[in-house]
């Protein structure tokens, strides 16, 4: 393992009733004016919004409404939220939803405290914000693990770049598996695959030898797969959903990255594909991963073979590492279909024209390439194979 320093300040409230538990414990520290941020109408339709507002107003808080945060949140929406936060002198941001809501609010929190445009501040000047409006997260859709870190992925519609920002680190998060029942089944399963993707992208980094971080990672991957299968059969299983909610947190709280150099190449490709097509993040990852891994496995066959054997149960007897690895990738793709997730862009019904795929290949971030440093023509070929 590589050397590391690890610190983890997010306070997590986990289990049924965690939302009420978190609010009761945190209300006194949230200040007078609270921005309540959320996405579409599901938070209101399911009664979660009313429950939260009742808690806030009952504690004497002034609530500032910031709704309509879209999937793949836009830079424009972040600026709208920051302007509102400044105008209303918001003391605390309470984000209710999933990764899109949390990512938007992380940037809102930072931008509201900056006198200049955060995109130029971070991406041109190379600076990192140091002042934030504090925020907390109530998870209704797990998978991204965005409530566990200070990273945000935001789409700039003018430049067609879906890129990373550093924003606020949530001070606390409520992980109540019962709240995940308020979102559609397909959306929940897409989020669960995002968790699996985070685990795989961390595992297929370096160093490649056996270490405690990878041992934990492979165990969590198996847990995700087992519990996705349970939810596929029994959508109401709170036990399986609770496991997946915690898997999501574990995948992005830094534990699986300790002592590792990770390689999030699938995410980088999907981010740009999403920037041009506005497609679902987890579903895009489900399409991209198998095609990408067939290109990477020959460069790290032993690492892929271990994953294939330990996660997917591939029998390695009498087979070479690459053969085992490729069988594992086939099982990954079969699992994706088994879970009702798309295995091609055609199944997603999304734009897969040469023109769009070429733009994605030419603009996506190329990672350090822990297994292989891809060139843009190879990324284009991978995308063609995803059709």
What pLDDT score was predicted for residue 378? 98
pLDDT in tens, 169-220: 999 999 999 999 999 999 999 999 999 999 999 999 998 889 999 999 999 9
Mean pLDDT per 10-residue section of the chain, whose length is 387 residues: 85 96 97 96 91 97 97 96 98 97 98 97 97 98 96 94 95 97 95 98 92 97 98 98 98 96 96 95 98 97 98 98 98 98 97 98 92 96 98
Provide the sign of the torsion angle of the four alpha carbons 21, 23, 28, 29, taken in this order.
positive
What pLDDT score was predicted for residue 48? 95
Domains and CATH numbers, the chain: 11-179 (3.40.50.1970), 185-385 (1.20.1090.10)
Give me the helices (H) in 253-350, please. 265-277, 281-296, 301-312, 321-338, 345-348
**What is the rounded CA–CA span in Å between residue 299 and residue 290?**
15
Give me the helices (H) in 4-112, please. 18-26, 42-45, 48-58, 75-87, 99-111
pLDDT in tens, 27-79: 999 999 999 999 987 899 999 999 999 999 999 999 999 999 999 999 999 99
**What is the rounded CA–CA span in Å between residue 14 and residue 18?**
5
């Amino acid at each position: 393992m590589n050397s590391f320093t690890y610190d983890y300040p997010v306070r997590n409230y986990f289990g049924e009733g965690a939302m009420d538990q978190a609010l009761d414990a945190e209300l006194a520290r949230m200040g007078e004016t609270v921005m309540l941020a959320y996405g579409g109408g599901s938070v209101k339709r399911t009664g979660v919004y009313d429950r939260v507002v009742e808690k806030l107003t009952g504690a004497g808080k002034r609530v500032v409404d910031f709704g309509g945060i879209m999937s793949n949140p836009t830079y424009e929406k972040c600026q709208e939220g920051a302007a509102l936060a400044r105008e209303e002198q918001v003391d605390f941001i309470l984000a209710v939803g999933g990764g899109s809501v949390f990512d938007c609010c992380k940037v809102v929190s930072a931008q509201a405290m900056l006198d200049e445009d955060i995109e130029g501040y971070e991406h041109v000047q190379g600076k990192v914000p140091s002042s934030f409006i504090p925020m907390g997260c109530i998870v209704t859709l797990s998978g991204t693990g965005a409530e566990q870190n200070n990273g945000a992925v935001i789409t700039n519609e003018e430049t067609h770049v879906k890129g990373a920002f550093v924003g606020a680190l949530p001070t606390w998060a409520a992980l109540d598996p019962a709240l995940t029942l308020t979102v559609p089944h397909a959306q929940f399963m897409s989020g669960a695959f995002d968790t699996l993707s985070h685990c795989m992208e961390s595992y297929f980094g370096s160093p490649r030898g056996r270490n405690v971080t990878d041992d934990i990672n492979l165990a969590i991957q198996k847990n995700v797969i087992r519990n996705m299968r349970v939810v596929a059969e029994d959508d109401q299983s709170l036990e399986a959903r609770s496991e997946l909610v915690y898997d999501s947190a574990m995948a992005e709280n830094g534990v699986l990255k300790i002592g590792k150099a990770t390689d999030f190449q699938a995410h980088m490709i999907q981010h740009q594909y999403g920037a041009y097509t506005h497609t679902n993040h987890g579903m895009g990852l489900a399409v991209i991963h198998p095609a990408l891994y067939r290109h990477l496995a020959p460069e790290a066959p032993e690492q892929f073979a271990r994953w294939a054997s330990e996660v997917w149960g591939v029998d390695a007897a009498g087979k070479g590492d690459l053969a085992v690895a490729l069988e594992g990738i086939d099982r990954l793709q079969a699992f994706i279909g088994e879970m009702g997730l798309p295995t091609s862009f055609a199944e997603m019904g999304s734009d897969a024209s040469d023109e769009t795929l070429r733009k994605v290949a030419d603009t996506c971030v190329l990672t350090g390439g822990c297994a292989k440093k891809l060139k843009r023509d190879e990324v284009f070929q991978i995308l063609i194979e995803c059709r």
